[in-house]
């Protein structure tokens, strides 16, 4: 493992005993367009994963649905046997169809098979952290997650999962999940322009629970804002760097997993997130999502 871990922006966070860098890597973009099929540049995808580890990143986020089956296989090819400090976390609860949709897959037999597939494709005996993904491809959906989460809790008791999280969930679903089993992390859509979880982030921080924003840079529609551009120009930086730095400074429990299929872009993301935002900068940025 690289000696550069301590120099990564944001330092580290402990997930119930698992120390991870707050600046992580999301592997969704390693598959083909819209996270389907093989990457256009397989060697380039492998190089990105190896560079992430060389930079000191110890938190890689994936899912068997990416590809499907592609991203996990790339991670295994690039990094197995995994360094002791590296933690690969995954998600279950959705699959893919031929049209690129994300059909739910939360019946007990589907969840058990999904966990088995993640273990197989990643080459692991135990998964460090598994998120139960709720909602659908359009976003969060109200409803109980009890049956699905209890299935994963049973697998946790069997020793094939260390820790559990929830993803694409409403605050009331987070509360329900925490009444069933310890939750170490919540992964939801959140960025400068989409701020619905502000209160949830603050309450989770008080309880020592991590919050991992997906689409931290806007996802398939990159963030665009006059205020963001103005702050970036003032700091002689890029809007995306400013957006990442803002997230790290927003709350200490926020863990970043920006994705990219480019080594150069990965390095730019790490460097950009080191920006120090003044109180004036932060106030101007805060106005974007209000």
Burial (CB count within 10 angstroms: exposed 0-12, middle 13-18, buried 19+), residue 134: buried
The structural domains of the chain, ordered by start, are 17-213+252-259 (3.20.20.100)
pLDDT-based confidence at 111, cuts 50/70/90? very high
Q: What is the mean pLDDT of residues 121-130?
A: 98
For the annotated catalytic residues, the residue numbers are 66
Sheet strands (E) in 74-216: 87-92, 127-133, 161-167, 183-189, 210-214
Check residue 2 and give its pLDDT. 38
Total Cβ atoms within 10 A of residue 249: 18
Assign 21 to helix, strand or coil: strand
pLDDT of 99 > 90? The answer is no
pLDDT tens per residue across span 51-84: 999 999 999 999 999 999 999 999 999 999 999 9
Output the pTM of the full model: 0.95
Cα-Cα-Cα-Cα dihedral sign, residues 68, 88, 163, 140: negative
Check residue 3 and give its pLDDT. 38
Check residue 217 and give its pLDDT. 83
Check residue 53 and give its pLDDT. 98
- The residue count of the chain comes to 290
Distance of CA 24 to the CA centre of its chain: 8
Task: Please count the helices (runs of H) and the strands (runs of E) in the chain.
Answer: 10, 9
Please state, in angstroms and as integers, the Cα–Cα distance from residue 233 to each residue in 96, 123, 151, 194, 279, following that order: 40, 45, 49, 22, 16
Find out whether 20 and 12 touch, Cβ atoms under 8 Å: yes
pLDDT tens per residue across span 168-225: 999 999 999 999 999 999 999 999 989 999 999 999 999 999 999 998 888 666 677 8
For a pLDDT cut of 90, what percent of the chain falls above it?
Answer: 87
Find out whether 102 and 137 touch, Cβ atoms under 8 Å: yes
């Amino acid at each position: 493992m690289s000696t550069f871990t301590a120099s990564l922006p944001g330092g580290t966070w402990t997930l119930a005993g698992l120390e991870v860098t707050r600046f992580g890597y999301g592997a969704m973009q390693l598959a083909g367009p819209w996270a389907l099929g093989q990457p256009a540049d397989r060697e380039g995808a492998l190089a990105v994963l190896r560079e992430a580890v060389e930079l000191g990143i110890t938190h890689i986020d994936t899912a068997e649905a990416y590809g499907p089956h592609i991203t996990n296989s790339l991670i295994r090819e690039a990094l197995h046997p995994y360094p002791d400090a590296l933690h690969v976390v995954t998600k279950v609860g959705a699959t893919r169809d031929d049209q690129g949709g994300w059909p739910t897959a939360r019946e007990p037999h589907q969840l058990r098979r999904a966990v088995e597939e993640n273990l197989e494709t990643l080459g692991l005996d135990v998964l460090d952290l598994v998120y139960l993904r709720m909602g659908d491809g359009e976003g969060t959906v109200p409803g109980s997650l009890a049956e699905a989460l209890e299935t994963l809790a049973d697998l946790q008791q069997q020793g094939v999962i260390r820790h559990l999280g929830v993803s694409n969930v409403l605050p009331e679903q987070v509360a329900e999940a925490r009444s069933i089993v310890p939750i170490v992390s919540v992964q939801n859509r959140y960025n400068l322009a989409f701020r619905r979880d502000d209160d949830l982030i603050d309450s989770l921080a008080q309880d020592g629970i991590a919050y991992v924003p997906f689409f931290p840079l806007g996802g398939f529609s990159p963030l665009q804002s006059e205020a963001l551009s103005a702050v970036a120009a003032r700091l002689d930086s890029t809007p995306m760097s400013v957006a990442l730095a803002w997230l790290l400074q927003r709350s200490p429990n926020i863990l970043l997993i920006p994705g990219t299929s480019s080594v150069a872009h990965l390095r730019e993301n790490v460097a950009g997130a080191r920006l120090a935002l003044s109180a004036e900068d932060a106030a101007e940025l805060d106005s974007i999502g209000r």
